[in-house]
């Protein structure tokens, strides 16, 4: 028996260096572990103090919060939290002290209410962001807080990521051409709210233009919906031939569509040599009409809702001069809320269940009475809808659309957001998308300038243009996520299980019959 015991295979936890180290670490007494951790953290802080003082403070604050969260609630945790908050409120930066107070307060809310209070707090903080953005402390490495225009960019990409999440996260269809929907939405907005078609003059509720301006001008509110619907129809058209493919094949075909569309945009100024100018070619379509609530609504609300976003705002609220970008920011939050709401409702519906079933096992799903093509097409159409709305909104915000905005890397970028945050989980996707969009717009540049000022070898200062390496950096981020946490930062429980154990989905079909529909 002793011999048998000797040959028993090692437990899974013992295999691999990482797991061995982990189990050895866990074998240490609690006190030793705590001592070592705190020691390492202080050493790290001292080390970083010579690079950047604020980074050392950041390390201490983060580890401090980590230990505070493990203290018994009364009186230690409460006391420590109060002390930390007061320290920052007194010695500054005060904005960080306030943020800390809010965060600590939120964690005192009992668990069962937290799923309401957390999103609500996030929403309130987001809505108020224009009022306190300029007053915020400087974050170590990342620098100042993103400005409002970046906020709009982030919200638009979060919206697209939530849309793509329906296709990739729920239904499990790998779509590498999501940029096609973004482009469709943007160009739809451009066609119906600019001078692109000068031979027709048709106005419908548009603001900020003279009544005799040529071209089609539809109010942006209807246009957003229209862009969504047109993009959804476009999604269905793309989906019908492609969705009968599985996995890798689908990915390749969507990749193709993602490449075709920008080319059409680029060469659409002389469509098939007929002289029809659809997209204005590489020059893009600009300017687009402004957005606004119109004079009637504006008067009715006593000017609270601006008639035209671009000519609004002489009001000062809470000491903050409201600008048109702020209005765009708030409307973007509203659009995102609608997107998230729809996405959540769909997740827990008959259709959402069918999507997950298809992702898990197509053959079994079909045998349970789920029409594969139709159900997948609905996923595609809903994903496309939100991509289209987001694209249209961003085009209106920029007042322009160029074919250069719709390259393949945008598709990958949005997919990265979904993967980083956690496929299938809306909170995860929102966080992942917001972070990557921020990096792309401001974060990388800020990080670059931090590196260039603070890191030096002797008197030699480097001069690295970090945003130049954006694609490489995102690639590394995704590699690291896929290696160590394939389910993303905030995963859905289901997806995490699938990614670690694989799904049971070997095809059972005749290839000729795979997509046949009655």
**Binding residues for other proteins, per CB under 8 A?**
341-342, 345-346, 349-354, 356-357, 360-361, 363-372, 378, 382, 494-495, 497-498, 501, 503-504, 508-510, 512-513, 516-518
Minimum CB separation of residue 504 from other proteins in Å reads 6
Q: Which is nearer to other proteins, 352 or 448 (CB)?
A: 352
Q: What share of the chain is helix, strand, coil (3-state, %, to 5)?
A: 70, 5, 25
For residue 432, give both structure tokens: 């992942």
Q: Which is nearer to other proteins, 392 or 496 (CB)?
A: 496
Q: Which is nearer to other proteins, 138 or 363 (CB)?
A: 363
Q: Which is nearer to other proteins, 147 or 361 (CB)?
A: 361
Minimum CB separation of residue 231 from other proteins in Å reads 15
Minimum CB separation of residue 479 from other proteins in Å reads 25
C-beta of residue 137 within 8 angstroms of C-beta of residue 96: yes
Q: Residue 165's closest CA among 479, 445, 394, 428?
A: 428
Output phi, psi for 137, to 5 deg.
-70, 165
- State the Rg of the chain over Cα: 26
Minimum CB separation of residue 189 from other proteins in Å reads 23
Minimum CB separation of residue 10 from other proteins in Å reads 25
The alpha-helical segments, DSSP class H, found in 193-246 are: 220-242
Q: Which is nearer to other proteins, 84 or 370 (CB)?
A: 370
Cα separation values, 216 from 195, 198, 200, 242, 422, Å: 7, 8, 7, 33, 41
Cα separation, 161 vs 416, whole angstroms? 9
Does residue 203 sit in helix, strand or coil?
strand
Q: Which is nearer to other proteins, 305 or 342 (CB)?
A: 342
Minimum CB separation of residue 509 from other proteins in Å reads 7
Cα separation, 61 vs 355, whole angstroms? 43
Minimum CB separation of residue 428 from other proteins in Å reads 16
For residue 109, give both structure tokens: 């809310």
Cα separation, 417 vs 438, whole angstroms? 11
Q: What residue has token string 């409702």?
A: 345
Q: Which is nearer to other proteins, 374 or 461 (CB)?
A: 374
Q: Which is nearer to other proteins, 234 or 394 (CB)?
A: 234
Q: Burial of 117 by CB count in 10 Å (0-12 exposed, 13-18 middle, 19+ buried)? A: middle
Q: What residue has token string 């909104």?
A: 393
């Amino acid at each position: 028996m002793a011999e048998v015991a000797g040959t028993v295979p090692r437990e899974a936890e013992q295999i691999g260096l990482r797991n061995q180290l982990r189990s050895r670490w866990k074998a240490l007494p609690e006190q030793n572990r705590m001592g070592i951790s705190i020691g390492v953290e202080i050493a790290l802080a001292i080390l970083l103090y010579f690079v950047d003082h604020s980074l050392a403070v950041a390390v201490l604050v983060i580890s401090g919060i980590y230990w505070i969260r493990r203290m018994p609630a009364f009186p230690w945790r409460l006391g420590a939290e109060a002390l930390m908050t007061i320290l920052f409120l007194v010695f500054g930066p005060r904005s960080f002290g306030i943020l800390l107070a809010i965060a600590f307060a939120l964690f005192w809310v009992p668990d069962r209410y937290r799923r309401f209070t957390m999103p609500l707090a996030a929403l309130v903080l987001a809505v108020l962001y224009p009022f306190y953005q300029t007053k915020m402390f400087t974050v170590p490495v990342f620098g100042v807080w993103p400005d409002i225009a970046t906020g709009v960019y982030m919200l638009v990409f979060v919206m697209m990521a939530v849309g793509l999440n329906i296709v990739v996260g729920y239904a499990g269809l790998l779509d590498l051409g999501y940029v096609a929907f973004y482009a469709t939405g943007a160009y739809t907005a451009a066609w119906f709210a600019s001078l692109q078609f000068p031979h027709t003059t048709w106005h419908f509720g548009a603001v900020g233009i003279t009544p005799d301006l040529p071209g089609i001008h539809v109010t942006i509110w209807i246009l957003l919906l229209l862009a969504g619907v047109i993009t959804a129809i476009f999604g269905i058209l793309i989906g019908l031939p492609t969705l009968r493919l599985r996995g890798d094949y689908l990915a390749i075909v969507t990749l193709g569509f993602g490449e075709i569309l920008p080319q059409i945009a680029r060469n659409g100024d002389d469509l098939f040599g007929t002289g029809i100018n659809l997209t204005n070619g590489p020059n893009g379509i600009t300017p687009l009409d402004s957005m606004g609530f119109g004079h009637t609504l504006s008067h009715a609300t006593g000017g609270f809702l601006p008639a035209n976003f671009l000519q609004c705002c002489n009001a000062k609220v809470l000491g903050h001069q409201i600008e048109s970008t702020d209005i765009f920011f708030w409307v973007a939050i509203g659009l995102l809320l609608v997107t998230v709401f729809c996405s959540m409702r769909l997740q827990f519906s008959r259709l959402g269940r069918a999507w997950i079933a298809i992702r898990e096992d197509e053959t079994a799903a079909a045998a349970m009475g789920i029409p594969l093509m139709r159900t997948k097409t609905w996923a595609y159409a809903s994903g496309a809808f939100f991509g289209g709305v987001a694209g249209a909104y961003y085009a209106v915000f920029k007042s322009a659309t160029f074919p250069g905005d719709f390259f393949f890397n945008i598709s990958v970028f949005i997919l990265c957001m979904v993967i980083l945050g956690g496929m299938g989980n809306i909170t995860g996707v929102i966080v992942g998308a917001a972070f990557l969009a921020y990096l792309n717009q401001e974060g990388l540049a800020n990080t670059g300038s931090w590196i260039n000022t603070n890191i030096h070898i002797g008197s030699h200062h480097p001069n690295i243009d970090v945003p130049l390496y954006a694609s490489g950096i995102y690639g590394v981020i995704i590699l690291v996520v896929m290696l160590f946490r394939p389910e993303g930062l905030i995963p859905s429980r289901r997806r995490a299980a699938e990614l670690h154990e694989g799904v049971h989905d070997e095809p059972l079909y005749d290839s000729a019959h795979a997509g046949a529909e009655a």
